[in-house]
């Protein structure tokens, strides 16, 4: 929303349903980037989740005279049932003179049942979730364990706020899952990976996109100061990760120092780690904007940090290893 609208504000955040009011929103571009969102709907009415409130809301809908299809989705154990909502909406629209066409509708009316409310609106766009499934790691030409799923990689790229045509760096590129998701939406993906074997394998996964991939060290990035627009990195962890440094702590510290140098001031880096990095990030000139956790399994919880590169450079004492 911050990238593809002139301004917006949050109206409500129900269970699995975010309602916003936006000006100048480019729905088409937004839909091409979303990964964990199912659909974008133009909200026409919000009512209580009761038969009476639903009937009143549908009776007052301002809809074009087109053939329609209505589909409802119930979030978790919300009430009423989805099929009951579909029947009620169809019944009232029939009496209003609208005609349904399930095979070739001219408009799709959506109802979301969540948190005691029913949100009614017209479907404007939906994400191509099947394409993410087709890019699952084990289906790619080259596979390496412990990598991010495509939807998560795309979400991290979106959190970086990198725009099409800008440079996004992944200094721990691995099999280039993050790089691929960035390139697919027009971002200039730049990957750095220290293991030659992974670089050779990743080349097979990037055949359909325009990219830059280097065999190099995240501790010594071959880029000039302030030439990178954003960075997304999944730091090494787990049994399959290979650390080519004296310690993981040393690797992270020197990599952060290089990211601070190469990423433009006030731009974002998104970091995934297996432990909190708050102290490291503040020491190396990054302001933490958001923190998230993602539980993978009992012994692994990912920590996700969305940071802004501060204009202030860390002092020599802070950067000393």
Question: What are the angstrom distances between the C-alpha of 149 and each of 36, 136, 141?
Answer: 11, 6, 15
Count Cβ atoms within 10 A of the Cβ of residue 259 and give its class: 0-12 exposed, 13-18 middle, 19 or more buried.
buried
Q: How many CA atoms lie within 13 A of 117 on its CB side?
A: 15
Domain boundaries, the chain: 7-126, 130-319
Give pLDDT tens digits for 7-39. 999 999 999 999 999 999 999 999 999 999 999
Gap between the Cα atoms of 79 and 49, Å rounded = 7
pLDDT at 78: 95
Is pLDDT at 276 greater than 70 in this prediction? yes
The pTM of the full predicted model, rounded to 2 decimals, is 0.89
Find where tokens 């979030």 sit. 75
pLDDT bin (cut points 50, 70, 90) of residue 227 is very high
Gap between the Cα atoms of 108 and 42, Å rounded = 11
Is pLDDT at 320 greater than 50 in this prediction? no
Smallest CA-to-CA distance from 274 within 319, 237, 316 is with 237
Range name among 74-78, 126-130, 148-152, 212-216 with the lowest pLDDT average = 126-130
Range 260-270 average pLDDT: 97
Higher per-residue pLDDT: 248 or 293: 293
Range 216-245 average pLDDT: 85
H runs (alpha helix) in 34-141: 51-59, 82-95, 129-134
pLDDT bin (cut points 50, 70, 90) of residue 243 is low
Of the chain, the percentage scoring pLDDT greater than 70 comes to 94
| SS3 state at 18 | strand
Q: How many angstroms separate the first and last alpha carbons of the chain?
A: 39
Is pLDDT at 317 greater than 70 in this prediction? no
Give pLDDT tens digits for 97-155. 999 999 999 999 999 999 999 999 999 999 988 999 999 999 999 998 889 999 999 99
Other CB atoms within a 10 A radius of the CB of residue 73 amount to 17
Q: Select 7-126's CATH number: 3.40.190.10, 3.40.630.30, 3.30.2130.30, 3.30.160.110.
A: 3.30.2130.30
> What contacts 200, CB < 8 A, 6 or more positions away?
none
Please, what is the angle between helix 177-184 and helix 150-159, to 10°?
Answer: 60
Q: Select 130-319's CATH number: 2.30.30.40, 3.40.50.150, 3.30.420.40, 3.40.640.10.
A: 3.40.50.150
Pairing type for strands 211-215 and 188-193 reads parallel
Other CB atoms within a 10 A radius of the CB of residue 70 amount to 22
Q: pLDDT averaged over the chain? A: 92
User: Are 87 and 46 contacting, i.e. CB atoms less than 8 angstroms apart?
Assistant: no
pLDDT bin (cut points 50, 70, 90) of residue 245 is low
């Amino acid at each position: 929303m911050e990238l593809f609208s002139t301004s917006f504000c949050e109206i409500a955040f129900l269970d699995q349903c975010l309602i916003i009011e936006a000006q100048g929103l480019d729905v088409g571009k937004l839909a091409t980037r979303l990964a964990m969102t199912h659909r974008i709907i133009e909200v026409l009415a919000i009512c209580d989740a009761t038969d009476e409130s639903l009937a009143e809301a549908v009776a007052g809908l301002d809809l074009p005279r087109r053939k329609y299809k209505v589909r409802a989705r119930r979030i978790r154990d919300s009430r009423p049932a989805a099929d009951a909502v579909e029947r009620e909406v169809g019944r009232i629209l029939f009496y209003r003179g609208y005609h349904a066409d399930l095979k070739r509708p001219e408009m799709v009316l959506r109802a979301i049942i969540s948190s005691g409310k029913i949100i009614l609106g017209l479907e404007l766009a939906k994400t191509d979730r099947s394409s993410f499934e087709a890019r699952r790691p084990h289906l790619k030409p080259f596979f390496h364990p412990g990598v991010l799923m495509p939807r998560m990689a795309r979400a991290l790229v979106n959190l970086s706020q990198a725009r099409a045509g800008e440079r996004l760096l992944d200094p721990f590129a691995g099999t280039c899952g993050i790089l691929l998701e960035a390139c697919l939406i027009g971002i200039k993906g730049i990957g750095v990976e220290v293991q030659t074997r992974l670089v050779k394998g990743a080349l097979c996964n990037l055949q359909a996109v325009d990219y830059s991939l280097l065999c190099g060290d995240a501790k010594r990035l071959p880029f000039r100061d302030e030439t990178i627009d954003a960075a997304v990195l999944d730091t090494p962890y787990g049994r399959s990760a290979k650390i080519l440094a004296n310690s993981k702590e040393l690797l992270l510290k020197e990599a952060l120092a290089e990211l601070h140098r190469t990423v433009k001031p006030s731009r974002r880096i998104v970091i995934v780690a297996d432990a909190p990095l708050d102290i490291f990030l503040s020491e190396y000139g990054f302001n933490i904007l958001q923190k998230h956790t993602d539980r993978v399994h009992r012994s692994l919880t990912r920590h996700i940090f969305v940071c802004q590169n501060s204009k202030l450079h860390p002092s020599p004492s802070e950067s000393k290893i």
